[in-house]
Amino acid sequence: MLLEVVTPERLLLSEEVDEVIAPGEFGQFGVLPGHRPFVATLTTGELFYKQKEREKTIAIGEGFAEVLPDRITILVEWAFFGEEIDPEEAKKQKEEAEKRLKELVPLDPEYEKAVRRLKEATVKLEVSQKYHSEISKAPR
């Protein structure tokens, strides 16, 4: 099936895949070729997909998924491959978000923004670390 990952700035991916696991608003969901059509809300998280027994990961922001029997389209605020994410910058963003969150109380209007920034930074860091871990394990 065709997997397309689209942000307002670019078409990140348009490739044939064997399986997709996406971070839905109410939990992860998997899609295989021939799946029944549906639309789902996505949350910030890791989008996993499999191509010929090789698993790959993309960090994605909030958005929507449209599933058809032969295609899944992911429309999100942002999306990055692990190699596009600077792990040091992601770590710095995560630390800043954690610090900001400690300064706020849940009733503060800025609290939800801080939670969102923390989740985004955490996902980017995890995807970046997975990519760099795979690269270091690859035969040379």
Scan for tokens 């109380």, then name that residue: 105
pLDDT in the model for residue 138: 56
Q: How much of the chain, in percent, has pLDDT values that exceed 90? A: 84
Mean pLDDT throughout 75-83? 97
Distance CA 113, CA 42 (A): 17
Write phi, then psi, for 32 (nearest 5 degrees).
Answer: -115, 160
Read off the pLDDT of each residue in 70-89 and give the average, rounded to a whole number: 96
Helices (H), 1-140: 87-103, 111-137
**127, burial (CB in 10 Å: exposed 0-12, middle 13-18, buried 19+):** buried
Q: How far is CA 113 from CA 3, 27, 56, in A?
A: 30, 21, 29
What does the pLDDT read at residue 102? 92
The candidate with the shortest Cα–Cα distance to 49, out of 1, 84, 11, is 1
Q: Of the given ranges (47-56, 71-80, 94-103, 128-137), which has the lowest mean pLDDT?
A: 128-137
- Choose between 106 and 27: higher pLDDT: 27
pLDDT for the residue 82: 94
Per the document, the length of the chain is 140
The fraction of the chain above a pLDDT of 70, given in percent, is 96
pLDDT for 8-30, tens place per residue? 999 999 999 999 999 999 999 99
